[in-house]
Amino acid sequence: MAIDRLTPERRRERTRQHLIDAAAVVFGQRGYHGASLDEVAAMAGFTKGAVYSNFKSKDDLFVAVLEQQVQAQLAQVEALLADHRRPAEVDYAVMRELLTPQYEVNWTVLYLEFVLYALRNPTAQAKVAAYRRRTRDAVERMVEQTWATQDFEPELSARAVATITLALFGGIDLDRLVDPDDLPTSITEDALTFIIAAARGLGEDV
């Protein structure tokens, strides 16, 4: 039986993934400022040198953790959309489950903590801005792929829809932090209905 060799490249990828997984736990428990790279290294079973071999700084590691969380969520949404011929036929209950924070860690709180820190740190601000651009790019591609199967001419650009969507759900997440009792679970479905209608140029009927 052939043995799949663990090449240096795969070993580095595995180490990097272990560090990201460990960092997600440590950041979730301690927050961005409270977490240390020593704790992350210990959690992952590596030395602190292994962290710096894969990430230039604590900021880079944190952004990698955030990006993994978002990419996993977007992949689930994309798979759901791919199973339907038209966005209006999407199972909103399933979509709501995907778009409503379900993590043991509240990533909205962690992201907000990092953003406030980044506003006073130009280097960190550039990193979080680049992360947001990559996220918008991913959502924009998803919108374009969905539209490619449709029979209508959108009045909004895919970039505009991606930007509005992220802003809308980001705002809902923030509202949930300060006043969760005032937001019904149906708000996610309402937001999805609004975005789909607006993208189709039916804003007056929303």
The reported pTM is: 0.80
Tell me which of 3.30.420.40, 1.10.357.10, 1.20.1730.10, 3.40.50.720 is the CATH number of domain 58-205: 1.10.357.10
Percent of the chain with pLDDT over 70: 79
Is residue 149 within 8 A of residue 85, CB to CB? The reply is yes
Architecture label for domain 7-55: Orthogonal Bundle (1.10)
| Domain range list for the chain | 7-55, 58-205
CA 137 to chain centre: 12
What mean pLDDT is predicted for residues 179-196? 80
The token pair at 27 is 């950041």
Shared fold status for 7-55 and 58-205: no
The tens digit of pLDDT for each residue in 79-137 reads: 776 765 555 555 556 655 556 554 455 788 899 999 999 999 999 999 999 999 999 99
Query: How far apart are the C-alpha atoms of 133 and 32, rounded to whole Å?
Result: 21
The DSSP symbol for 119 reads T
The tens digit of pLDDT for each residue in 134-160 reads: 999 998 988 888 778 777 677 888 899
